[in-house]
Amino acid sequence: MSQQATDRSSMFLSLRHRNLRIYFFGLLLSNVGTWLQFTAMSLLIYSINNKATDAGINTFAQFIPMLVLGAWAGGFADRHNRRRVTFWCQSLLGVQAVVLAVVTFTGHVSLPMIYLLSFGTGIASAIDNPSRRGLVTELVESSEIPNAMSLNTTVMTGSRIFGPALAAVLIGPLGTAWLFALNAISYLFVIGSLLLIDKTKMLPATSAARGGMPVREGLSFVWRDPMLRRAFIVFTVVSTFAFNYSVVMPKLSDVRWGQANGYPILLTCVSIGSVFGALGTARFTRITMRWYATLVIINGVSCIAIAWAPNFLVACLLCFPLGLGGTGLVASMNGLSQQNTPPEMRSRMLALVAVAFLGSTPIGGPITGWIGDNIGIEWSIAYGGFLTLLFVPMLWKDR
């Protein structure tokens, strides 16, 4: 049997576990609501001043907690009950959605209020992220973890198809406040799924020992592995500069293609491509650097092509490979971080991936927004593509 064949598995292998099916169902419905809110909030922010910089500031407020707390949260998740931590964090995120809906209904919403609530969301999400994703490793056999992690990414990105599409349909007749309220309701599904998990069928979690320096230990583990070190460096560059299209797409759609409300459609197209990227990665029981490098290239080229798309239709078509390359890359990085990682360090590796992916956003988001407002809206997305391609040769050493 060829190596390629042995590196692939049934695309939905890990779904044979009932606990995982329940958990993914709750996550899917909850994240549809999350993307309803995310899309509505982006349009609301842009409508206030018509500036991409405002969206960049909101991105900074939402993701700076991940940069500061993300690595620590991984160590925290390795030492505590991941299911319990996820339950309380998801509950707090639901409360945030309720508050956002109330201030919008009552007419008290403003940019400072949005920034404050986004900051609160960022704190809860930073703590939640490694526990929520690490919980997946307790619901399947160890050999199925790469498949389960890729399917987890598929669930998260699949919700991006329905969330923005529903936002495009509902924001006109309902307005942003009702979309925020629907997101608050959606948290009941993920909270319910956590309560329905059969704890007797969960794999025993290997907790990290108390004390020590968990963050430093995680960073040292990455640095000692040449393949993982190079993958993390490239992933951090791509995440910082080439994953900020949500900051500039509302203005790009409005200014370049004359589609003031085209952002939800573009985001839906990205999300459809994302599902194919995640499912394509789910084929592998072990992620190869060849596949990883291919996704980096697709992502970089797509950013450059979209920047100068001649019309809205072509931009929509180019959003498919953008989503495929970007989300496939995230799923691959998650898989790479778990393949040779000791069980007691898995949440820390997932946290480091999250810090590289989301924690870099407070740096790249404002830069991208500033470029869009002061240099050129096309360059705000293209510059990330060029930087991405510059780092591809680093990966070829590990193919």
Q: Mean pLDDT, the chain, as a whole number?
A: 82
Q: Quote the Cα angle for 153-135-346, to 5°.
A: 85
> Which residues make Cβ contacts (< 8 Å) with residue 347, sequence separation at least 6?
74, 75, 77, 78, 82, 130, 131, 133, 134
pLDDT digits (tens, 9 = 90+) for 256-298: 898 877 888 888 888 888 888 877 887 777 788 888 899 999 9
Is 191's pLDDT higher than 90?
Answer: yes
Burial (CB count <10 Å: 0-12, 13-18, 19+), residue 244? buried
pLDDT of 390:
92
Q: Across residues 206-232, what is the average pLDDT? A: 70
Q: Across residues 178-188, what is the average pLDDT? A: 93
Both tokens assigned to 374 = 């002061």
Task: Please give the single-letter amino acid code of residue 238.
Answer: V
Range of lowest pLDDT (66-70, 297-301, 330-334): 66-70
Cα separation, 256 vs 348, in Å, equals: 42
Both tokens assigned to 86 = 């996820």
Range of lowest pLDDT (3-7, 120-124, 292-296): 3-7
Is the domain covering 14-200+214-396 a CATH 1.20.1250.20 domain?
yes
Is 308's pLDDT higher than 90?
Answer: yes
3-state class (DSSP) for residue 284:
strand
| CB 56 within 8 Å of CB 377 | no
Instruction: Give the domain ranges of the chain.
Output: 14-200+214-396
Model's pTM, two decimal places? 0.67
Is 167's pLDDT higher than 90?
Answer: no
Q: Across residues 321-326, what is the average pLDDT? A: 90
- Residue 387: pLDDT band (50, 70, 90) is very high
The closest alpha carbon to 256, from 357, 382, 350, belongs to: 382
Both tokens assigned to 268 = 């839906």
Is 157's pLDDT higher than 80?
Answer: no
DSSP 222-264: HHH-HHHHHHHHHHHHHHHHHS-HHHHHHHHHHHTT--TT-HH
β-partners of residue 284 are 8
- Residue 204: pLDDT band (50, 70, 90) is low
Q: How far apart, in Å, are the Cα atoms of 33 and each of 102, 156, 297, 304?
A: 16, 11, 31, 30
Is 112's pLDDT higher than 80?
Answer: yes
β-partners of residue 8 are 284
Is 212's pLDDT higher than 70?
Answer: no
Q: Across residues 302-329, what is the average pLDDT? A: 92
Is 306's pLDDT higher than 50?
Answer: yes
Task: Please give the single-letter amino acid code of residue 163.
Answer: G
- Residue 50: pLDDT band (50, 70, 90) is confident
Is 341's pLDDT higher than 80?
Answer: no
| CB 42 within 8 Å of CB 55 | yes
